Each structure stands twice: as C-alpha cells, then as structure tokens.
Chains A and B, each alone.
Chain A
Amino acid sequence: MAAVAGRTAGFAVDVLRATSEFRTWWPQLATQARRIGVDSVPIAMFIALFTGVVLALQSSYAFTGAVPLYFVGTLVGKTIILELGPVLTGLVLAGRVGANIAAEIGTMRVTEQVDALEMLAYDPLAYLAVPRVTAGLITFPIVVAFAVGMGIVAGWITSTGLLDLSSQEFVRGLRMFYRPFDLRYALIKSASFGVVVTSVGCLFGYTTSGGAEGVGRATTRAVVVACMVILVLDAFWAVVLL
C-alpha cells in the first residue's frame, strides 16, 4: 500500500513538473478536450435524462399526501445538482474516459511507443499525461453542467406531463432552497473528478507491463480505482464544503 502511494505521489510530482513543457502539451490540449469532454456529452446527457425522470416520479411517490407536490422540484434540483449530476457522470466517465486513456497509453507503453517518445527527446508525461489531465480538469465541469441541465429539464417535463404539477409549481420548488453555492459545489467536485479519472488512467497506462494481458489489467484497475476515489472524494467534499 505504501509502495502504491509512493508511486502515485511520484507520478503526480512528475506530471506537475512536466507542465513546464508548455510547447509539448499545449498543441495536444484541444484534441484531448474534444475526446474527453465533447465526446462525453451525449452519454452524460442520456444518463441525466433518465435520472431526472426517475427522480421526479420517485419523489412524487414518496411525497404523496404528506408533503406539497412542488417539493418535487426541490428534490430534483438539489439531488441532481449536489449529488447525482457530478457523481453519476464521474462514474460513467471513469469507464468511458479512464478506460480509454489507460488502454491507449498502456498499448503505447508495451509497443515501445513511449520509449520512442523519449528517444525523440520528448517528455512522455508532458506529451501524454498533461494534456489529458488538463482536459479532464477543464471539461468535466462543463459536461456535468450539461448533465445537470438535462436532469432538471427531464424532471420538469416529467412533473408537468405525468404528475399533477404545473410548471410554476415545479419552478417554485426548484428555487425554494437553491443557493448559487450549490452549483459551485457541483463544479468543484466535477473538476476534482476530472483530474482523478484522467490521472488514474494515465498512471495505470504509463506503468503497464506484460503485453495485451497487462493492458487489460491496467484498464480494469484504472476504472475500479477511479470509481473508488470518486466516491471517497464525494464524501470528502461533503465534509469540507457543506
């Protein structure tokens, strides 16, 4: 465990140091932002859509007769913004983005492409890790913002279409306990998840050994570890910021 922690810390320091190689990583940033962020928007929106629908229906089921129905808007908004938007998106992107990064860099490692980068006098971490981690940091909050928007819209359409709730009542519930800090909290969490998913993918990909089997192992570990760290971080931010 100590060895893993040491290796991870060493890797993080190396990645931070590699950020000084601006001319190496900057040209890769737009491509990585597209692959990590833009290409993740559809799956994040898809998940948020059904999360919003289910949240609205389940909260109305739970509230029936005891709590005014406009609290459906409150519950949908608060839950999507504070928890489900960032965490569900983070977990899904741990699979989509983290696995992709670990497999890609792992394959490069076992086919000597990482050594080739070194022999061309590039810093492999500046070329491979820095643009991906930076793209994760920047794009995850944007993807989550889209997901939050979609989840709330889905909850609103479900409430007005399937429940006995007007748009005004839904919005009233939505605004009742909303604080601008809620959104900031979600975006801070999302940015941290972006860093975790991409850097864990890079770490496991970069340290891959053992051919195709090693790439498979690294990919699985990257997803599992990223998911675990996301859940730990989720609790951490709740303790620190709420």
Chain B
Amino acid sequence: MIRLEGLTRSFGDLHVLRGFDLEVATGETVAVIGRSGEGKSVLLKHVAGLLQPDSGEVWIGDEQVTGADRERVRRLRLSMGYVFQSSALFDSMTVAENVRLALRRHGTPAAEIEERARESLETVGLGGWEGRYPAELSGGMRKRAGVARAVAPRPTYLLYDEPTSGLDPVTTSMIDELVLQLKEDLRATSIVVTHDMRSACRVADRIALLREGRVSWLGTPEEIEHTDDAAVKAFVEGRRDLWPDD
C-alpha cells in the first residue's frame, strides 16, 4: 500500500502540492493525470523520497518515507522500481549493464544476474540489444530499457513517470501492454503519472486528477466516461474551453 497524506510542497512562490491525499491499495494501479506543470513528477519524487515535502506524510507499506533517515529510505527503495520520464539510463553503460547494475544492488546471486538481465530485456522486447548503448537506441527503446531496469529486481512498488510521453501510438500501446503484463506478473502496487488519457484508462484501476496541487477527482476508468466534473471532461475530451480555469 502507498499512502500520501496532506502533502504540500512549494518552490519559492510556486505552490505545487497543496494538501495532496491519495491511497493506493496493495496490487492496485492508480494513474495520476493532470496538465503539464501541475506537479505530477514532483509528486512521484516525493513518493520515492527523492524530494521531501514541506508538510504531510508519505507511507510505503508500514514505513514512513518522510523524515526517514538515509539508510531507511535506501532500504525502502530496494522494494521500488522507478521508470523515469527521460529513461535516465546510464549512458556510459550498455543496456545490459544498466540492468545488471540494478540486480547487483538488490543482492541477486552473481550466477543469476546474467540470466535475469536477459529475461528482463526480453520481456520488454529488447532481446538482442543487450550490448547497445542508450545513445544507439530510439526513444521508445530507451523507455523500454528503463522499464527493464526498474522491474528486473521484481519490486513491490512501481512508479512510472510519463512512460508514454513523446512516443508514437504504436509504441505507446506496446508500453501500455508492458505495464499491464508487469502488473499481472509482479502484482506490484503502482502509480503511473501521465497526461495520456487513453493510456491511463488502459492501465489503471483508478484515475486521480491532480489539479491545483490536490486530487480534484478520483474514480475508475468507467466512471471517468460518465462524470460531470468539468476539469475531467475537459481533460478527457482535450477541450481547453471546458477547463475550469480558462
């Protein structure tokens, strides 16, 4: 379970999170949608302990991330996988070395590392690309390599930061299927941050709209189609004129 309680965070005069509450049940996938610049990535970094909130609490299972010492946060991260928006692959390493680095830290026996790295890359459709460097891959392949690195240690919690942004519809669909497959295989508790409505409806059990620093709407993909919430409708239909602020 992931629980966020009353998270607030400001950068100077910019109040990004203003009391964000969300609970993600064990094994559940929640997509957090919202306009660009609303603070979706900032939110995810708080869950991972990469940023500390001004106030509020982040709980991963029974452990509190906020205020935890460095060692405890690092131990918690051993149970997390994080897919970065920019992939964040180590560009001085091959794709396989990126995955192996993750496995080594998670205490995978040396004899298994090679096999597990190969398996993970095959799962994301990158079998045969093990020896390539990130600079030699397309954007979609880098995203998939980032997913392979995040899921190779079989984490309990998965955090996806815009996993389909900047990708063509076919690759987007491939990534969505991958997220669904990993949900099935790992039974991980996941948060997917995205502004891609189709993707959110495909992969998520519930969808939360982040607006003005808090959850302004929360419901299932089915509910989102029949809601009267103006912001959600504007988001779903891609209509700026319906957006409450405009």
- Co-complex (A, B): yes
A residues whose Cβ falls under 8 Å from a Cβ of B: 108, 111-113, 115-116, 118-123
**Shortest Cβ distance from A14 into B: residue:** B70
Which stretch of B72-80, B122-130, B174-182, B223-231 is in the interface?
B72-80
User: Which chain A residues border B74 with CB–CB below 8 Å?
Assistant: 118, 121, 123
User: Which chain A residues border B78 with CB–CB below 8 Å?
Assistant: 121
CB pair A119–B77 under 8 Å, yes or no, is yes
User: Which chain B residues border A112 with CB–CB below 8 Å?
Assistant: 84-86, 88
Tell me how many residues of B have a C-beta within 8 Å of chain A. Answer: 24
CB pair A115–B77 under 8 Å, yes or no, is no
Summed over the interface, the residue pairs from A and B with CB atoms below 8 Å come to a total of: 47
CB pair A118–B86 under 8 Å, yes or no, is no
CB pair A116–B105 under 8 Å, yes or no, is no
Query: Mostly helix, strand, loop or mixed at chain B's interface?
Result: mixed
User: Which chain A residues border B80 with CB–CB below 8 Å?
Assistant: 119
B102 at interface (Cβ–Cβ under 8 A)?
A: yes
User: Which chain B residues border A121 with CB–CB below 8 Å?
Assistant: 74-75, 77-78, 105-106
CB pair A120–B91 under 8 Å, yes or no, is no
A119 to B102 CA separation, bound complex (whole angstroms): 9
CB pair B50–A119 under 8 Å, yes or no, is yes
User: Which chain A residues border B89 with CB–CB below 8 Å?
Assistant: 113, 116
Q: Separation in Å of the B127 CB from the closest CB of chain A?
A: 22
The answer to whether residues A116 and B77 also contact, given A121-B105, A121-B106, A122-B105 and a CB cut-off of 8 A, is no
B101 at interface (Cβ–Cβ under 8 A)?
A: yes
Q: Separation in Å of the B76 CB from the closest CB of chain A?
A: 9
A112 to B51 CA separation, bound complex (whole angstroms): 13
**Shortest Cβ distance from B74 into A: residue:** A121
Interface centre among A108, A113, A115, A120 (most CB of B within 10 A): A120
* 6 A-B pairs with the lowest CB-CB distances in the bound complex, closest first: A112-B88, A116-B88, A119-B82, A121-B77, A121-B78, A121-B74
CB pair B50–A120 under 8 Å, yes or no, is no
CB pair A119–B48 under 8 Å, yes or no, is yes
A116 to B92 CA separation, bound complex (whole angstroms): 14
User: Which chain A residues border B84 with CB–CB below 8 Å?
Assistant: 112, 115-116
Other-chain contact of A120, B45, B70, B75, B102 (Cβ < 8 Å): B102
User: Which chain A residues border B105 with CB–CB below 8 Å?
Assistant: 120-122
B90 at interface (Cβ–Cβ under 8 A)?
A: yes
Interface centre among B85, B88, B91 (most CB of A within 10 A): B88
